[in-house]
Structure 1
């Protein structure tokens, strides 16, 4: 009987990829908090996850080198964020407190998915090798 990793892991592998990309975007915002003219960006997690799942379910194998590769980039889900604070005069729209909070929340959710996946992997390992070890 074959193990279906898609059924075993659910959406968590895709969620990890999206959370990783969001962490990168938020880190860029934090790093550019003092850069004049920098516009804060964010990733629409739900849209990105839906698109990642659609790409995975509709993924097609390339059977020839000259066929077009299907893009797996999350570039389209990254949007500029509407600022919560008035312009400080330098055109920068980063609210450092909001960015740090979003980064921390994203980190916690990433860890939750990692914990779930680790639990599932350990369960599958136990099922394969036997539960007595």
Structure 2
């Protein structure tokens, strides 16, 4: 049996899971800063959270349908509906002479941003739990 404290509870839970995955990826990038031909990786974090939010809050994506002038035209390819995050290689960073694309300044900045957001998610969950406890405590006195 499962219950929800609020609609945002599952969203925050997913956010924590994706933040943990991102922490591991960024830590792996930093650990491989001296590995020749290593390409820095990241997670498509915002896309996964927006999918989770639209599932939880029943948002309509207002997708624009592809116009087909004849039946012989191929239909649009549907976006894959996976709950797994997309891991990609970060582009835009200059590779060093050994082909490594890890930039320690970028990685440490992303690591600290991810850590702050992880802590903010934890605090939001704590706040929800304290509200839930207060409601239970107030009903005991009735």
Using the size of structure 2 for normalisation, the TM-score is 0.69
Task: Report the counterpart of residue 122 of structure 1 in structure 2.
Answer: 130
Q: Output the CA distance in 2 between the equivalents of 1:51 and 1:28.
A: 26
Stretches of structure 1 lacking an aligned partner (at least 5 in a row) = 58-70
CA shift, 1:8, in A, is: 5.3
In the TM superposition, structure 1's runs of 4+ consecutive aligned residues that sit over 3 Å from their partners are: 50-57
CA gap of 1:131–1:36, structure 2 versus 1, over 3 A, is farther
Q: Pick from 89, 111, 119: which aligns with 1:80?
A: 89
CA gap of 1:8–1:84, structure 2 versus 1, over 3 A, is closer
Using the size of structure 1 for normalisation, the TM-score is 0.74
Aligned residues: 116
Task: Report the counterpart of residue 24 of structure 1 in structure 2.
Answer: 24
CA gap of 1:9–1:46, structure 2 versus 1, over 3 A, is same
Counterpart secondary structure, 2:49: helix
RMSD: 2.7
Deviations 1:33-52 (A, max 9, x none): 00001000111211122344
Stretches of structure 2 lacking an aligned partner (at least 5 in a row) = 58-81
